[in-house]
Amino acid sequence: MMQIIVKYFPHLTDVQRQQIEELGALYRDWNSKINVISRKDIDNLYEHHVLHSLAIAEAIRFKDGTRILDIGTGGGFPGIPLAIMFPECQFKLIDGTGKKIRVATEVANAIGLKNVVAEHLRGEDEKGKFDFVVSRAVMPLPDLIKIVRKNIDKENKNALPNGIITLKGGNLESELRSFKKIADVMPLSEWFGEEWFKEKNVIYIPC
């Protein structure tokens, strides 16, 4: 369970390990009340949800002070694992379903995350500016870019220029057609050896 995270991220602090460890019981408990993860998949929480979210931490090491918007966060993915990994960055988690935002809020509070704000809000209605927007297969890329381009700040402070970082699987040819020249597609199988990560990718598009 938890060991799969330590396998790929061995340099976690004691606080980070503790926070990640607590996610298991918290999500199991909340999922029994509000279904944010498929019931069949809750046993795979660490591989399919926590480690999957942390693939973004393999793609980029956010500098302290970076502001990140997680759109369509559901119960807090990828935002909560990333907020644990980058405690000096600020995360805003939004979702159009209030019940899911309640779970994300309660989990973040329970593990003592001070760098997370969760709000019941659609992407179209988010007015803030961020360095990066992250998401996990929330909608087709062209739709996502149309909605969040307004939220990307112009001033860069990271190694990668500001933009969108999204987790996507399967055949992406049609989604990427308009962005072929600028999109960076990073296969998760380059970082994680588990079978489940085959044909899954991090996609980065500068905005």
Please say whether the beta carbons of 172 and 150 come within 8 A.
Answer: no
Total domains, the chain: 1
What CATH number is given to the structural domain containing 74? 3.40.50.150
Domain encompassing residue 30? 3-206
- pLDDT tens per residue across span 133-149: 999 988 999 999 999 99
Q: Are strands 200-206 and 184-187 parallel, antiparallel or unpaired?
A: antiparallel
- pLDDT tens per residue across span 157-198: 999 999 999 999 988 888 999 998 999 999 999 999 999 999
Name which of 187, 108, 96 is nearest 139 in CA terms: 96
